Amino acid sequence: MNYTESGWEIITQRSHGLLAAQICAHWKKNDQPERWVDTLIATAEHDDVYNEFENEDLLNPSGGPVNFKTTSFKKEYADRLIGMAETKSAYIALLISRHIQFVHGPDPKAASFIKALKEREKKWINVAQSSQEEVRRGYELLEFCDAFSLLICQQQIQPEQRKIEISSGPDGTAYEMHAGEEGLEVSPWPFEEISFVVRYECRTLTQLTFKDTKEFRKMISEAAVETRYLRLIGIPGERT
């Protein structure tokens, strides 16, 4: 959610997750995790439990759209997210577990839930016949793509070609991005193709405050959907 001159720009959490998966799908083939499809699915679905068309906690006390950064741990959401992941595969459950720990680790309300997750991870690792190292690398790729998608959705691309750090990848490399003449340039370039296009959907609400969640949800469902495109490209001289 971004505030613009036209009103509230709404990019749903699920749309953000799909954008993260598009970024992940272009990762260099020789660096892709062995459980590639599982990793892609976990990346696409890591925020699926938050649905702006169903959830109730969508407004702040002033009646404006809630900023997801201010939301705190909710056990019912975490239970549902883990449940959906576990019914797909133990490895996906492991990646989603790591994401819950990453996002909510500092929240005291999540402490007991995270402690229980760590116990459940022992079972999932055995079922998946995986290892701590494989899970670590898989989740760090997910986290990189999540961070990259969030920067795009939050309009964090800086003017005047100023660089901004994205995150570190599975090998510990720190990646940066900046606006270039041909598209959004990433350095070093971790993807298979020399450039590719990603897309995501957004909705703009000109109304700034809402009397209740029902009204807000109705406005979102009726808003025109705009598809935005962005080209990612390696810096000339670094493309391979």
As given in the structure block, the two tokens for residue 171 are 């090998």
Where residue 235 falls among pLDDT bands split at 50, 70, 90?
confident
CA–CA separation, 140 and 188 (whole Å): 16
Query: Structural domain tally of the chain?
Result: 1
Per-residue pLDDT of 20-68, as tens digits, reads: 999 999 999 999 999 999 999 999 999 877 766 677 777 888 888 887 7
φ/ψ bin of 146: left (φ > 0), alpha (ψ from -120 to 50), beta (otherwise):
alpha
Contacts of 228 (CB under 8 A, 6+ apart): 199, 200, 201, 202
Residue 10's φ and ψ, nearest 5 degrees, are -105, 120
Report yes or no on 163 lying in a domain. Answer: yes
Report yes or no on 203 lying in a domain. Answer: yes
Report yes or no on 54 lying in a domain. Answer: yes
Mean pLDDT value of segment 174-192 = 94
Report yes or no on 239 lying in a domain. Answer: no
Q: Would you call 94 helix, strand, or coil by DSSP?
A: helix
Where residue 5 falls among pLDDT bands split at 50, 70, 90?
confident
The boundaries of the domain holding residue 158 are 2-234
Q: By the 8 A CB rule, do 208 and 8 touch? A: yes
Report yes or no on 15 lying in a domain. Answer: yes
Report yes or no on 69 lying in a domain. Answer: yes
Per-residue pLDDT of 114-169, as tens digits, reads: 999 999 999 999 999 999 999 999 999 999 999 999 999 999 988 888 999 999 99
Mean pLDDT value of segment 59-82 = 84
Report yes or no on 139 lying in a domain. Answer: yes
Report yes or no on 240 lying in a domain. Answer: no
